[in-house]
Structure 1
Amino acid sequence: MRQPRLSSVVERRLLVNYRVDPDVAERLLPAPLRPQLVHGHAVAGICLLRLGSVRPAWTPRFLGLRSENAAHRIAVEWDGPDGVETGVYIPRRDTASRLNAWAGGRLFPGEHGRADFEVHETPGQMSVALATRDGDTRVDVTVELSDELRGSTLFADLAEASRFFRGGAKGFSATSSGRHLDGMELQTDAWHVEACRVRSAVSSFFDDPDLFPPGSATLDCALVMRDVPVSWRPLPAMASERAAQLAN
């Protein structure tokens, strides 16, 4: 069955980013993916995403749905037919939406686990916490909006960070079959991100010493995209023999 292109509004896309030892990141990736390096570091993080007006692209906006979602990501590159391509590998996706959890991997690419979210937002601050229903993953992040990107080792300024993450629009997700990766590409003509200052960040994924030995994953920066219309284009599945290594 051909999977439809989806339209939505990114009401909030909070990217909490870590710099990671490249050898550690590589162990978490299925072939043919490899870490995309920035100043010698791999880049990984958590995407805390609230989508509104989600619907097939051919349906009117008022029929769209709203949901809280999360994706753990590692920036990657791979050899495509026309040269090196870039994107992200997503070892797990989670959602508060029962519909997304059912439809992901069936009606659109990307298998989802279920999670409970707690969100508090003001014009200058946002806090997002989640706990997955399987008890495997917890996240609790609080950030403040900032006029510029400060303290990042990965990126010199907001413009450099924006270019990097815009280049990672293709996402490939682990699947329970372990034989392939589901693919989806974010597309928008209204790309815009803002800098954040992280007040606190706890992640059972990045704090897990079995995945990230002490000192191998360091919080680097956070960015947020707000109220941006986007579409999601299904990509051909990518063959992989280790895709289920960290899948839900």
Structure 2
Amino acid sequence: MRQLRLSSVIERRLLVNYRVAPDAAARLLPEPLRPHVVHGYAVAGICLLRLGGVRPTWAPAAFGLRSENVAHRIAVEWDGPDGVETGVYIPRRDTASRLNAWAGGRVFPGEHGMADFQVHETPRQVRVALATRDGDTRVDVTVELSDELQGSKLFADLAEASRFFRGGTKGFSATRSSRHLDGMELQTNAWRVEAGRIRSAASSFFDAPDRFPLGSATLDCALVMRDVPAGWRPLPTMAAGVQSPSPSH
């Protein structure tokens, strides 16, 4: 099935970022991907994404759908035909939308599991909690908006963090076959992020000692994106040279 280009509005994109020991991150990556190292650390995190107006690019906005979604991500680089490229590897995606779960990997790239979300938002604070239906992953984070990025060892300031993530808009997702990765690229001419202060964060993915030994993954910072029009472009699949962990949907 031909995969569609999509239009949407990013109503809220909350990035909760961890600084990770590069060797711990590398163990989770299939070839040809390797950790994108910043100031001696790999960068990983949770993307908590509410999309509105999601539709094929040719469809009127009135047909757009809304959904809560989550992606666990590791910033990566790889050797492309024109040099080193950057993006993110996504070991699992989950959604509250049955349509997304059916269409992911069919109509658009990225296989999704199902999750139940609890969301509470004010103009200055966001709390998102979720549990995946397969019982594998739980997340509960509260982030307060801040005037500046503070306490990060990955990024000196908000501008540096914004540049880093704007350079990593290509995402490659694990698939059930483990032989290839699905690719999708975020495209927007209205990129803007705000700094966040993490009030609390728990993640069964990052807190699992078999995946991240004690001390190898530490909360670093949070960023918030709101009300940004965005498109999503399918990318050619990437061959996975080593068996990668299949998404446990």
Report the TM-score, using the length of structure 2 for normalisation: 0.98
The 10-residue stretch of structure 1 (150-159 or 234-243) with the greater mean CA deviation from structure 2: 234-243
Partner of 2:50: 50
Q: 1:88 touches 1:169 (CA, 8 Å); kept in 2?
A: yes
Partner of 2:156: 156
Q: Any idea what the Cα deviations from partners look like across 1:158-192, whole Å, max 9, x if unmatched?
A: 00000000000000000001110000000000000
The share of aligned pairs that are identical, in percent, is 81
Partner of 2:173: 173
Distance in 1 of aligned mates of 2:246 and 2:119: 26
- The aligned runs of 1:1-248 (5 Å cut-off) are 1-242=1-242, 244-248=244-248
Alignment partner of 1:234: what SS?
strand
Q: Any idea what the Cα deviations from partners look like across 1:4-48, whole Å, max 9, x if unmatched?
A: 110000000000000000000000000000000000100000000
Q: Any idea what the Cα deviations from partners look like across 1:101-147, whole Å, max 9, x if unmatched?
A: 00000110000000000000001101000000000000000010000
Runs of 4+ in 1 over 6 A off after TM superposition: none
Distance in 2 of aligned mates of 1:4 and 1:209: 38
Q: CA deviation at 1:244?
A: 4.2
Q: 1:75 touches 1:168 (CA, 8 Å); kept in 2?
A: yes
Q: CA deviation at 1:246?
A: 4.4
Q: Unaligned 5+ residue runs, structure 2?
A: none
Aligned length: 248
Distance in 2 of aligned mates of 1:184 and 1:19: 24
Distance in 1 of aligned mates of 2:126 and 2:2: 37
Q: CA deviation at 1:247?
A: 1.6
Alignment partner of 2:10: what SS?
strand
Q: Any idea what the Cα deviations from partners look like across 1:183-220, whole Å, max 9, x if unmatched?
A: 00000000000000000000000000000000000000
Report the TM-score, using the length of structure 1 for normalisation: 0.99
Compute the RMSD of aligned alpha carbons.
0.7
Q: 1:9 touches 1:229 (CA, 8 Å); kept in 2?
A: yes
